[in-house]
């Protein structure tokens, strides 16, 4: 399914477009970035994660990462996923999840592009999402390197979303700075 067609049916993409339009019309931008709304970053760089079975090898890796008796808590997706990523081979993903109610900002882990979500077990019959997820659910997000988790934890002494007001959008400022106009560039040279 192409991007345009998916954007017509995906609750996540419809939500992202609504959020972006609400700020674009105001003319405001996130200071120091090229975006008017953080969801523009996700629209530009995000991808859909498909429901897929884990291979036997992936299942062993996931079991080592999440099956060690830690008590993962609901509503602590950023913390849960950041801890897992720092202590395993699983990637850290931030973005959005849709479980049939409304799209929500969310974090999870992935292995070879497959979802590992220990936080939404309460919406999945008490079971974590390990590759496959219920029909009608959507996961849309961006993989982040573990070094970005370390930066947030060191600077803020807390587990926070990498793309957030709480982190002052530092990642976006460093990696997607405000585009300079010709006038700005000329002023900088004088």
Residue 18: φ, ψ to 5°: -60, -45
Q: How far, in Å, CA of 47 to CA of 51, rounded?
A: 13
For the stretch 58-89, pLDDT in tens is: 999 999 999 844 578 889 999 999 999 999 99
According to the model, what pLDDT value does residue 185 have? 39
- 100-154 pLDDT, tens digit each: 999 999 999 999 999 999 999 888 888 899 999 999 999 999 999 999 999 999 9
Dist CA 132 CA 125 (whole Å): 13
What's the predicted TM-score (pTM) here?
Answer: 0.88
The closest of 85, 123, 132, 131 to 107, measured between CA atoms, is 85
Q: Is the pLDDT of residue 155 over 70?
A: yes
Domain boundaries, the chain: 3-17+30-175
């Amino acid at each position: 399914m192409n991007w345009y067609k998916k954007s017509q049916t995906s609750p996540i993409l419809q939500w992202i477009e609504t959020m972006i339009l609400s700020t674009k019309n105001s003319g405001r931008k996130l200071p120091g970035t090229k975006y008017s709304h953080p969801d523009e970053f996700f629209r530009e760089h995000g991808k859909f994660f498909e429901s897929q079975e884990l291979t036997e090898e992936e299942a062993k890796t996931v079991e080592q990462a999440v099956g060690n008796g830690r008590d993962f808590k609901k509503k602590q997706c950023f913390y849960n996923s950041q801890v897992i990523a720092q202590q395993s081979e699983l990637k850290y993903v931030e973005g959005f999840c849709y479980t049939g109610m409304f799209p929500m900002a969310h974090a999870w882990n992935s292995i070879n592009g497959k979802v590992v979500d220990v936080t939404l077990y309460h919406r999945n019959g008490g079971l974590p999402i390990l590759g496959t997820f219920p029909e009608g659910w959507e996961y849309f997000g961006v993989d982040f390197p573990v070094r970005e988790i370390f930066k947030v934890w060191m600077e803020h002494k807390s587990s926070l979303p990498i793309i957030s007001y709480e982190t002052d959008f530092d990642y976006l400022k460093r990696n997607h700075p405000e585009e300079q106009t010709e006038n700005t560039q000329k002023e900088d040279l004088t």
